[in-house]
Amino acid sequence: MYEKIPSVYIMASGRNGTLYTGVTSDLLKRIWEHRNNVTEGFTKRYSVHALVYYEVCPSMDSAIEREKQIKSWSRKKKLALIEKHNKLWKDLYTEITA
């Protein structure tokens, strides 16, 4: 049986570019959708396709709370979070699909 894994993530259009913070129970599927412009919206409009940060949460409720917390932060604080865990701004999608 397929297990859903609650996650919060940040995508970027490039280093220090446009950021998008989201939450999902299926990180691989959701990032694939963003990267392939499956749905209309922010990430398609602004070409935000690189996964630069993610964290797995113990429950969907905690993932939603974490998403709200991150979204409330200043841009500077979001950039610091990304750079703490992904200094080179690598697209982490290739790592989670390996």
Alpha helices in 36-74 (DSSP H): 42-45, 60-72
The CATH number linked to 29 is 3.40.1440.10
pTM above 0.75, yes or no: yes
Residue 2 resides in a domain: no
Question: What is the chain's pLDDT, residue by residue, as a tens digit (98 residues)?
Answer: 567 899 999 999 999 999 999 999 999 999 999 999 998 999 999 999 999 999 999 999 999 999 999 999 999 999 999 999 999 999 999 888 88
Report how many domains make up the chain. Answer: 1
Residue 52 resides in a domain: yes
Q: How far is CA 9 from CA 1, 2, 52, 76, in A?
A: 24, 20, 8, 17
